[in-house]
Amino acid sequence: MKEAMFFEKLAGKKVRCGLCGFRCLIADGRRGICGVRENRDGVLFTLVYGKCVAEQVDPIEKKPLFHFLPGSLSYSIATMGCNFRCRHCQNHSISQPPREGGKILGRPLLPDEIVAKALAAGCRSISYTYTEPTIFFEYAYDTAVLAQRNGLKNIFVTNGYITEEALSFIRPYLDAANIDLKGFTDSFYREVVGGALLNEVLESIRLHKQLGIWLEITTLIIPGLNDSDEELTAIARFIADEVGPDTPWHVSSFHPDYQMTDRSWTPLATMRRARQIGIAAGLRYVYEGNVPGDGGENTACPGCHARLVTRSGFSVQDLAIRAGKCSSCGSEIAGIWG
């Protein structure tokens, strides 16, 4: 175990966790909503430090990040636990057990070992992903510091429920993030996600932008829950108006999983409609996820409309961006191109 960061000691051996938007008040002997931060005698501890439950060398496109070192590899790690309880979570077998009283599993893997493995595998970055990196913040932070010293970039794939103090603390080492903007109503976040507040996610997205972290946003489109024209338009306009029209928006296809096996896959027509809604709202880069081969994964120049990046699944087949500019017309293309 390792003493946690971002907590306040209170009377009666209680603590207030300041890591995520829930800001849990935790009594002695109890855990926060994530299930992996425990109060022991008035001191908060993280139970997952150095306990890696998933590691994989992934293409950066799998995060998904399409405008950040395209075609590169990212060493991806996770621990058990999450502060959300999404009913459709595809990684529920590792995200939810700590919340449900299960054991906290994971094999020992220290930050210096992660960095060494990433370098040996030819990766250009480390991604903290699969579950929620906020809940293994101490582990991610120590790894990120070492990664930067060794020339590696750091990426959070996150639900965006981190507090301002925690995000600001890791900012010097955090290069990029993909944030799930799961819906655009409080009822969706309350009933499908598990009690989070939409406005706190929006504030986090704004803060990432203000701090200069490269940002891409993903929305998983679930039939009958967040696929209306009104909700998709609201998401697209928020991104375009408050984050910027150069912010890539990934609209991703839902497939049945966990507690939501009663719903069908997202129709292709819905995916195309969502993409058009994003473009109509002024977004320059809107991508269809989980629909390989349909053309919605490619990057076009917003100036001359030439195809700049051709993708198939998670692979980049052609790249026509030179020093951050379109090779045809010279227009600036937003992103970190390396």
Q: Are residues 126 and 195 in the same domain?
A: yes
Tell me if 96 is assigned to some domain. yes
Q: Are residues 15 and 55 in the same domain?
A: no
CATH of the domain at 278: 3.20.20.70
Tell me if 166 is assigned to some domain. yes
Low-confidence ranges of the chain (pLDDT < 50): none
Tell me if 312 is assigned to some domain. yes
Q: How many folded domains does the chain comprise?
A: 2
Full 3-state SS string of 126-161: EEECCCCHHHHHHHHHHHHHHHHHCCCEEEEEECCC
How much is the pLDDT for 290? Answer: 84
Domain with 184 in it:
51-326
Which token pair is 40?
Answer: 């022991």
Q: Are residues 303 and 272 in the same domain?
A: yes
Q: Are residues 206 and 72 in the same domain?
A: yes
Q: Are residues 266 and 135 in the same domain?
A: yes
Count the Cβ atoms, other than its own, within 10 Å of residue 2: 13
How much is the pLDDT for 159? Answer: 98
How much is the pLDDT for 62? Answer: 96
Q: Are residues 8 and 112 in the same domain?
A: no
Tokens 């990433």 locate to 118
How much is the pLDDT for 307? Answer: 95
Compute the distance between CA of residue 53 and CA of residue 102 in angstroms, rounded to an integer: 14
Q: Are residues 162 and 31 in the same domain?
A: no
Compute the distance between CA of residue 86 and CA of residue 259 in angstroms, rounded to an integer: 9
Q: Are residues 196 and 73 in the same domain?
A: yes
Alpha-carbon 302 to chain mean position: 25
- pTM assigned to the model: 0.97
Compute the distance between CA of residue 273 and CA of residue 275 in angstroms, rounded to an integer: 5
Strand-by-strand arrangement of the 15-17 sheet: 7-9, 15-17, 25-26
Q: Are residues 19 and 166 in the same domain?
A: no
Tell me if 26 is assigned to some domain. yes
Q: Are residues 63 and 102 in the same domain?
A: yes
Q: Are residues 194 and 269 in the same domain?
A: yes
Tell me if 337 is assigned to some domain. no
Tell me if 334 is assigned to some domain. no
Q: Are residues 81 and 96 in the same domain?
A: yes
